[in-house]
Structure 1
Amino acid sequence: MLLRKIYQVGYRPTNRLFATFPPSYIHPIFRHADQVALQEANDFERHTFLPVRPANSSQTSSVFYDPLVAKFTNHIMRKGNKILARGLLENTFMEIKRVQLAKYATNPNVELNPYKLLHQAVANSRPFLQTTPIKRGGHTYQVPIPIRPNASLAIALEWLINAGKEKDDDTRFWKQLAKEIIDAAEGVGKVIKRKQDLHRVCEANRAYAHYRWG
């Protein structure tokens, strides 16, 4: 009977038909900061009695969990080899620590935490504008448009990874990636230049910004 309905012309199955859990099931609130926010908003008791979906394997309440590090690991990963991606990122963090400790001898104000440096590097590398081709009157214009936050984060991570791959044959990937993260955290390097070049192109084409709503 179900297959007969599916093959009927114009039949639109509902999400409930194929979903594992009904929409009334909420997603798990596993992070401590989110739980504290619910308690401060006096909304914790209401969530206590709601049905909850099971948490994913990547969702954890550990204090060592960093969403940005987990996303960066997924961007580094190729062909599902997450163990290799984690190893490369761990080596990158160790190289960052080693480089920063060498600077610490002459400058005690150097940041030694590689996690903070990664967050700062990504924040400095995220673009805010990009150009998209829009055709008007037989001509194609490069129109500057704002970038969504999730897309901006993905672009910054990919830029850092690609900059790490642009290396000499005798240089390891994680060493080059560590150098690019340190440079981006300080506001210099290939990734920052690429971001500035993109914003410069958007500035040069700002006269065509009105075509975005045409």
Structure 2
Amino acid sequence: MEQKKNKELILNNINSFLQTDLGKKIINRLMKDGKKIKAEKILSDVIILLSKIQAEDPIKILKNAIQRVQPLVEVRTIRVRGANYQVPVPVPVKRKTSLSIKWIIESARKKKTGPMKVRLQEEFLLAYQRQGESIKKKIAVHKLASANRAYTHFRWF
């Protein structure tokens, strides 16, 4: 009886998360060829898998994983007097979230072992533990921005 209540609570929690802005962003990023229901199913399966593996709230794990992958700065290419410079610029809040979701899903798609729900769940867990491909991508972007610090005076846009 108690197990049934826990399952209902998790399902209600999943449905409410899928209706939030963050849930919709993840679903739209996961979606291929307009198959939104399939993307929703994958995300809900990921949340269920996370609840089975971790004792913590799976939605909290998702949010923390996305937050830990968010880049602080990125580089933009600017052309000045015939030369191209990569100028580090701060990333707006919406773009931070979009980039982190994009990187997590891309790194899950790169793996070719098992179904997408398992790969995505593993990638969210790795990002939550500050490991994995998406965190490496964030570090690479930060290193590139740090290497091009000298060109910040070209930032007039």
Cα deviations across residues 67-99 of structure 1 (Å, max 9, x unaligned)? 311221121112222110111111111222222
- Give the CA deviation at 1:137: 2.5
**Which residue of 128, 131, 143 corresponds with 1:188?**
131
**1:1-214 paired onto structure 2 within 5 Å:** 65-100=19-54, 111-168=55-112, 170-213=113-156
Instruction: Give the superposed CA RMSD.
Output: 1.8
Task: Give the AA of the match of 1:178.
Answer: Q
Identity of aligned residues (%): 30
Q: Secondary structure at the match of 1:112?
A: coil
Task: Give the AA of the match of 1:207.
Answer: A
TM-score normalized by structure 1? Answer: 0.62
Once residues 143 and 78 of structure 1 are traced to their aligned partners in structure 2, the CA distance between those partners, rounded to angstroms, is: 33
Once residues 78 and 176 of structure 1 are traced to their aligned partners in structure 2, the CA distance between those partners, rounded to angstroms, is: 16
Once residues 40 and 98 of structure 2 are traced to their aligned partners in structure 1, the CA distance between those partners, rounded to angstroms, is: 18
TM-score normalized by structure 2? Answer: 0.83
Q: Which has the higher contact order (CA 8 A, sep 6+)?
A: 2
Structure 2 unaligned regions, length at least 5:
1-14
Do the aligned residues in 2 keep the contact of 1:164 with 1:174 (CA within 8 Å)? no
Matched residue pairs, number?
142
